[in-house]
A and B are shown apart, each in its own frame.
Chain A
Amino acid sequence: MSHRVEILDAKTREKLCFLDKVELGHPQWYPARQSLRLDPKGKSLKDEDVLQKLPVGTTATLYFRDLGAQISWVTVFLTEYAGPLFIYLLFYFRVPFIYGHKYDFTSSRHTVVHLACICHSFHYIKRLLETLFVHRFSHGTMPLRNIFKNCTYYWGFAAWMAYYINHPLYTPPTYGAQQVKLALAIFVICQLGNFSIHMALRDLRPAGSKTRKIPYPTKNPFTWLFLLVSCPNYTYEVGSWIGFAIMTQCLPVALFSLVGFTQMTIWAKGKHRSYLKEFRDYPPLRMPIIPFLL
């Protein structure tokens, strides 16, 4: 059965436009999972694209592809960050069945272990708050299977790291308090840096919009890294984890940093490429993630 839809002006009742022969089907394909394109193998059209501006004649043929079940970015971020926060604490408090029973609910005698818990928890609380109040997402959703993949990664690594740092047989850093202080400084500076970049990026984009602009350094010294890299938020993030690895002198933390660095480099290179493609006047000195190098 086909429908005819008319849109009238609310005040004048004037007929503005109509859609003829609308056939309703496939209600399970909600908008977030629709990909419409001009060519079956081509790129997906954007939400903002306007039919008039597309290279179509009087009859426009669009090709549909189902993107699969979708989930909102906010949901994914909240879930993947809440996990590590909670899981790390299970190990910190030495909840039963993790270490031997004689260690249940005992506390480490090493200061660095308590410090590490504070840093790790702070890091993920910061991420949760940024997800809720700072970030402005370009896309509303991502494929549902990502949440399983992402949570396995974050939760798995968090458990693995936390197991060793909070272990009764944990060995504190070789160079003692000196090493811990230096590492803590690196961590704190990079956390502040990362936050500054997130704020700067947010200010580039008005609420509800999806505009893209070249980010530039602001008065905040932490943002001056924009002079040298496209994605200083990733640079600072890697720095934070390197700091945490040095602080805890724990190989799994170093491995986590390495994997994260690899992934962020891929993302930074992609972002850098998009910037170059979109903006003719993009600053040539900038590298994707590591000044002068990468």
Chain B
Amino acid sequence: MAAVAATAAAKGNGGGGGRAGAGDASGTRKKKGPGPLATAYLVIYNVVMTAGWLVIAVGLVRAYLAKGSYHSLYYSIEKPLKFFQTGALLEVGIVPSSVVLTSFQVMSRVFLIWAVTHSVKEVQSEDSVLLFVIAWTITEIIRYSFYTFSLLNHLPYLIKWARYTLFIVLYPMGVSGELLTIYAALPFVRQAGLYSISLPNKYNFSFDYYAFLILIMISYIPIFPQLYFHMIHQRRKILSHTEEHKKFE
């Protein structure tokens, strides 16, 4: 879901790394692009993020080759993953699209990284972690390069195609990884009473993190299909429109 919302938040032209009238999709260029200083900032931000996720991708490949297996690769990219995914908090507010949707997406990613994977050490060696890390990595590399190229008004069709096509596989993959990881964390949360408070206490408050995680898992059921089909709809709109444009060139 964190993977899904990433692209959904940036529907159409822009999102994430800001847009400067990419001139694709609906064909109407948004005249109100950011000024030169803001554009420079956005380009730098998107280039840095693309580079960051490439570092993670390379890290995964190297660790796989060194170890000879795909288990427990999380440890080799833990730090850059935490750094660059948390860094995405900077996107909230500089995104032209809905602040609500963007912050929702970033918060859910950050939640998974810190409140689940980091907090419950026992799940770090699970294969499900690799599943969502790979999904996020590929998605983010494409997404941030998409923004970079859009800002520079030179968007290769391949990147646009990739952004609006690969999600078909990457979203379900990411969601599966996320859900399996949360599920794997449950017994350890229950056992340790992690992040939980019980009655009685002087603030008359209680919180059961185990129940909370289950609610999170359930929330994927209504949310994921909505985001997924929104992306499918976007894909039809954006890719077929470009086809038409190309026809007349």
Interface residues of A (CB under 8 A from B): 164-165, 167, 169-171, 174, 248-252
Q: Shortest distance in angstroms between A196's beta carbon and chain B's nearest beta carbon?
A: 31
Cβ B202 vs Cβ A170 within 8 A: no
Cβ B206 vs Cβ A164 within 8 A: yes
Cβ B205 vs Cβ A249 within 8 A: no
Cβ A174 vs Cβ B204 within 8 A: no
Of all chain A residues, which has the CB nearest B206? Answer: A164
Of all chain B residues, which has the CB nearest A161? Answer: B204
Per-residue 0/1 for B164-202: is the Cβ within 8 Å of any A Cβ (1 yes, 0 no)?
A: 000000000000000000000000000000000001111
Q: Shortest distance in angstroms between B205's beta carbon and chain A's nearest beta carbon?
A: 4
Bound Cα distance A171, B203 (Å): 8
Of all chain B residues, which has the CB nearest A251? Answer: B205
Bound Cα distance A251, B200 (Å): 13
CB-CB under 8 A from B205, the residues of chain A are 164, 250-252
Q: Shortest distance in angstroms between A255's beta carbon and chain B's nearest beta carbon?
A: 9
Bound Cα distance A249, B206 (Å): 13
Bound Cα distance A251, B199 (Å): 12
Cβ A171 vs Cβ B202 within 8 A: yes
Chain B stretch 8-28: residues in CB contact (< 8 A) with chain A? none
Q: Shortest distance in angstroms between A27's beta carbon and chain B's nearest beta carbon?
A: 32
Of all chain A residues, which has the CB nearest B200? Answer: A169
CB-CB under 8 A from A174, the residues of chain B are 202
CB-CB under 8 A from A170, the residues of chain B are 199-200, 204
Contact size range, B: under 10
Per-residue 0/1 for B199-225: is the Cβ within 8 Å of any A Cβ (1 yes, 0 no)?
A: 111111110000000000000000000
Mostly helix, strand, loop or mixed at chain A's interface? Answer: loop
CB-CB under 8 A from A248, the residues of chain B are 204
Q: Which of A165, A167, A249 contacts B202 (CB 8 A)?
A: A249
Bound Cα distance A251, B197 (Å): 12
Q: Shortest distance in angstroms between B199's beta carbon and chain A's nearest beta carbon?
A: 4
Q: Shortest distance in angstroms between A223's beta carbon and chain B's nearest beta carbon?
A: 35
Bound Cα distance A220, B203 (Å): 37
CB-CB under 8 A from B200, the residues of chain A are 169-171
Known pairs A167-B204, A251-B203 / 11 extra A-B pairs, C-beta < 8 Å: A164-B199, A164-B204, A164-B206, A167-B199, A170-B204, A171-B202, A248-B204, A249-B202, A250-B204, A250-B205, A251-B205
Of all chain A residues, which has the CB nearest B202? Answer: A171
CB-CB under 8 A from B204, the residues of chain A are 164-165, 167, 170-171, 248-252
CB-CB under 8 A from B206, the residues of chain A are 164
Q: Shortest distance in angstroms between A284's beta carbon and chain B's nearest beta carbon?
A: 32
Bound Cα distance A248, B205 (Å): 11
Q: Shortest distance in angstroms between B202's beta carbon and chain A's nearest beta carbon?
A: 5
Of all chain A residues, which has the CB nearest B205? Answer: A251
CB-CB under 8 A from A171, the residues of chain B are 200-202, 204
CB-CB under 8 A from A249, the residues of chain B are 202-204
Of all chain B residues, which has the CB nearest A165? Answer: B204
CB-CB under 8 A from B202, the residues of chain A are 171, 174, 249
Chain B stretch 43-74: residues in CB contact (< 8 A) with chain A? none
Q: Shortest distance in angstroms between B30's beta carbon and chain A's nearest beta carbon?
A: 16
Q: Shortest distance in angstroms between B159's beta carbon and chain A's nearest beta carbon?
A: 33
Of all chain B residues, which has the CB nearest A254? Answer: B203
Q: Shortest distance in angstroms between A111's beta carbon and chain B's nearest beta carbon?
A: 16
A/B interface sample: 28 pairs, CB < 8 A:
A164-B199, A164-B204, A164-B205, A164-B206, A165-B204, A167-B199, A167-B204, A169-B199, A169-B200, A170-B200, A170-B204, A171-B200, A171-B201, A171-B202, A171-B204, A174-B202, A248-B204, A249-B202, A249-B203, A249-B204, A250-B203, A250-B204, A250-B205, A251-B203, A251-B204, A251-B205, A252-B204, A252-B205
